[in-house]
Amino acid sequence: MKHAGHALPVHPAACDVPGRATSHVDDLLVQIAHGSRDALGELYDLLAPLLLELLRARLPDGADARSALVDGFSRVWRQAPSYAPGPHGIDWVIDRVTDAR
């Protein structure tokens, strides 16, 4: 695609288009529920920076946000089979990652 004589970058990931991010996360969660480690890695790459900052803001001073992030994504992996597809996927992930149980 070109605009004003310049080539525009093409972004293959669905989440580069904000309106499609929710459906992309939902798709990844369904794949994770079916055992896709690649989908878990893609979800991590997509959401980890945001979730790490969220954890840093929510955890007490001195708490290890990176460790909490890894624990949270472990919960996502274990609980993905119970995920009910829909537009709430990002909220579902945030709940699992920020749940300190």
Is a pLDDT exceeding 80 seen at residue 18? no
User: How much is the CA Rg of the chain, to the nearest whole Å?
Assistant: 16
| pLDDT digits 0-9 by tens, 73-90 | 999 999 999 999 988 999
pTM of the complete model: 0.76
Phi and psi dihedrals of 60, rounded to 5?
Answer: -65, 155
For the cut 70, the answer to whether the pLDDT of residue 64 exceeds it is: yes
- Are 43 and 29 in contact by the 8 Å Cβ rule? The answer is yes
**Mean pLDDT, the chain, integer:** 82
Of 5-9, 54-58, 86-90, give the lowest mean pLDDT range.
5-9
Question: For the chain, where are the alpha helices, taking DSSP H only?
Answer: 21-33, 37-58, 65-79, 89-98
